[in-house]
Amino acid sequence: MKGVRVGQRGAQQIASSPELLKVSVFATALGYWALLGRDKLLYAITVGQPDARAAQSSFANPFDGLPIDPMVSDWYPGLRQRLEHYAAGDRVKFDDIQLYHPPRTSFQQQVVDVTRKLKYGETITYGELAARADRPRAARAVGTVMSSNRFPIIIPCHRVVGAGGGLGGYSAPQGLSLKTRLLELESE
């Protein structure tokens, strides 16, 4: 077989060094945010962290069985810049961002798909979202799906609110205060 010849030690290093997930941490007017992924594939995002260290450490290592590079890098500057613009109040779309999805049921996937299509500034209740996902009595199940969202802002779970005008919940570190700020940002 012709090709590049790799010594035994080199072959072991290649075989034992899986591609690391990269972390990008940046400050916004809405707290510190961090992205996790590789190439142009986003594995997770965290928003509203109190400082850079909290943002970086919000991802468990390993993440979905993949090791995380301990060095922070600006691995996806285009997405970081778009998120910075969003946090500054600019209308930004994220529908082209590729996401690494953990396994989901068909109902969970429908909820995520409907949520991702919500327009900037649009809100929907948990019950309405359940109905759009063909399970009109599953408002609580929608809340469970939203609480495990790895991609806040990209899958805009902050746009899902309670019936009667209540906010519902928000699992980011700043909780409902951040959800309120995001909704206010989008209503301006």
User: Annotated catalytic sites, by residue?
Assistant: 157
What is the number of helices (H) and of strands (E) in the chain? 7, 7
Q: What is the DSSP letter of 3?
A: S
How many Å apart are CA 45 and CA 187, to the nearest integer? 23
Q: What is the DSSP letter of 63?
A: B
Among residues 95, 120, 119, 124, the alpha carbon closest in space to that of 188 is found at 120
